[in-house]
Amino acid sequence: MISKTVLYIARCRLYSPTSFPSMCCLAHIRPKVIYRTNDIHIIKNMVAENLGISFLTKLVITPNDRLADLSLADS
């Protein structure tokens, strides 16, 4: 018998276990995405101006950025 989780993941089109679309699908949320870009400077400026949110690695955040970092942890 196939577990419900495996069937659900198949319906969610799992790209990668850690990809944002996959996590949203598994959490049953549909965020309203109104802008997408690969330009890290635009992303950081939009977040700093409270115009959006983003998942960033610590490698792209510099001391001059007006950003706060929050750790994500499983509980």
- Per-residue pLDDT tens over the stretch 46-72: 999 998 888 888 888 888 988 887 877
Do 52 and 46 form a contact (C-beta atoms < 8 A)?
yes
Long-range contacts of 48-55 (CB under 8 A, 24+ apart): 55/20
For residues 72 and 75, what is the distance between their CA atoms, to the nearest angstrom? 10
pTM of this structure: 0.60
Residue 1 has pLDDT above 50, yes or no: no
Encoded tokens for 42:
């635009």
